[in-house]
Amino acid sequence: MRHNVLSDLFSLIRCPRALLATAVLAALIGTADAAAAPQRARPPVTPTGTLTQLSGNAGCLRERSEPGEGCTSVRALRGPGPFVGSQAVAVSPDGRNVYVAASKSNAIAVFMRSASTGRLDQAPGAAGCVAAGQASGCAGALALNGPNSVAVSPDGRNLYATTIGSDALDTFHRNPSTGALTQLGGGSGCIARAARPGCTTAQGLGGPDVVAVSPDGLNVYVGSFAGNAIAAFSRNPQTGALTQLPQPAGCIVNTPTAGCTTALALAAPEGMAVSPDGTSVYVAAALSNALDLFSRNPSTGALTQLAAGSGCIVDSPMSGCTTGVQLAGADAVDVSPDGESVYVTSFLSNSVTTFTRTPATGQLAQMTGTSACVLDTLAVGCSLGRALEGPEGLVVSPEGASVYATSFASGAVDVFNRDGQSGALVQKPRSPGCESSRPAPECVRARALLGVSSAAISPDGRNLYAAAFKSDALAVFRRATVPAHQATRKEGKSNG
């Protein structure tokens, strides 16, 4: 037997042609087997930034007195994200909780967030909300009439809320385990424009609309819509208690006021953002149709409006300011994570405008050509957007690949790709470009978005939460994130 095998082997070696034929035959057999084997289907790739509303009642939370749309029924959620108030939703830095300012409930609703699904649940009793007069079984709070904006400190210890009906700024301690809120006591829990029981007083708090905390956690700033002012506070990192900065740094006003600094184009501030490096503060002033630029002193927290025409960008010529385009009713403002771009929604212009930022100085320049703005109607100098009527809220994703605008009149969340190199925005094509509560061309129908006014994204970038004033609801979306192999690169070309 062994002799026969060896003979056959030597025969093949001596006959290369026979060996080649054998190899070809084996290759053909292998190819046929591969063709016959079932091919594993690749899952479809969802473009980064695309939103998908969670299914069933997980897709929205709605005030229990207003059932419908297949949402989860919750407490203290009437009138979330009022018309005046573009930052009614905040997610804690650890991603465990979502907070919503509900103006008609005179409350702040507290939700626990699932890190894996993004689903929200409300705890029973006082842990699930804080409200004036302990309404709806919530924990009680002072000066909480008409809350409109909320912000969580970077260390996650405190939540700050503006209350336009109380002309006040409220301070809460946050339980990191449960997310429950407890108002600070001893006069530290609320700072009001006028004297009221249990509160201290401060200047520049007439109709407070928006609140922002500096990245280092040392300062809190408030934009007051009716007072045409910015109030500046130092923050105690251990307790969260606030103290207004000494005069005249403690308040910045549109018209000369004793004890305050005067600024240009600061009528009705409605949006505010602090740059990631903490050196700049940007304010959208609705009645000035302006974006105001301030430098921040990291040591004192004091703000100084940039000089020589750099401190304000306005919709029409104004002495001391630079002229921009499509800034009528400037509403919300946000800064990209890399600190190189600033975006503004303008309610009356139906637009989102784009500015490049010089990190060293904080100066801004509006982009040119169609990159300068996205507009709801076709116009020279802007790109065309969809479902962009009355945009109020604005948020840039944590990795900087996407920008979202909430359009109050359209009842829509508009989705934009952001170019990581230039900062330019382009609305996603076709249905991924907008989620709408009403039938709209090339938009996805979504639930509970009537009067949507503000949104926030979880720190992991997986979920977007949008407050809808007319729906008395909070809509919950899953967000397609940047693939792991791309996340390590510097932001590059936009996806999708």
Query: Please, which residues have CB within 8 angstroms of residue 442's CB and are 6 or more apart in sequence?
Result: 386, 429, 430, 431, 433, 434
Q: How far is CA 292 from CA 8, 14, 164, 225, 416, in A?
A: 90, 88, 22, 14, 24
CA distance 29 to 1: 28
Residue 13: the pLDDT is 36
Report the CATH fold assignment for 51-62+77-90+182-487. Answer: Methylamine Dehydrogenase; Chain H (2.130.10)
Structure tokens at 208: 């407070």
pLDDT in tens, the chain (496 residues): 434 433 443 343 344 444 334 443 344 444 444 444 455 555 556 789 999 999 999 999 999 988 778 999 999 999 998 766 679 999 999 999 999 999 999 999 999 999 999 999 999 999 999 999 999 999 999 999 999 999 999 999 999 999 999 999 999 999 999 999 999 999 999 999 999 999 999 999 999 999 999 999 999 999 999 999 999 999 999 999 999 999 999 999 999 999 999 999 999 999 999 999 999 999 999 999 999 999 999 999 999 999 989 999 999 999 999 999 999 999 999 999 999 999 999 999 999 999 999 999 999 999 999 999 999 998 888 999 999 999 999 999 999 999 999 999 999 999 999 999 999 999 999 999 999 998 888 999 999 999 999 999 999 999 999 999 999 999 999 999 976 445 444 434 444 5
Structure tokens at 280: 């700049």
Q: For residue 129, how far is the Cα from the chain centroid?
A: 22
Which element (helix H / strand E) includes 4?
Answer: helix 2-14
- Cβ atoms within 10 Å, residue 124: 8
CA distance 49 to 458: 13
- Single out the residue of 426, 434, 409 nearest to residue 347, CA to CA: 409
- Single out the residue of 391, 393, 410, 408 nearest to residue 465, CA to CA: 393
Residue 467: the pLDDT is 97
Residue 66: the pLDDT is 82
CA distance 220 to 150: 12
Residue 376's Cβ-count burial label (10 Å; 0-12, 13-18, 19+) is buried
Q: Is 125 helix (H, G, I), strand (E, B) or coil?
A: helix
Give the pTM.
Answer: 0.89
Domain boundaries, the chain: 51-62+77-90+182-487
Which element (helix H / strand E) includes 30?
Answer: helix 16-36
Phi, psi of 18 (to 5 degrees): -65, -40
Question: Cα-Cα-Cα-Cα dihedral of 340, 45, 426, 151, to 10°?
Answer: -50
Residue 85: the pLDDT is 62
The answer to whether 291 touches 283, Cβ cutoff 8 Å, is: yes
Residue 368: the pLDDT is 95
CA distance 143 to 104: 14
Phi, psi of 270 (to 5 degrees): -125, -20
- Single out the residue of 210, 204, 255 nearest to residue 232, CA to CA: 204
Residue 184: the pLDDT is 98
Residue 45: the pLDDT is 60
The answer to whether 385 touches 403, Cβ cutoff 8 Å, is: no
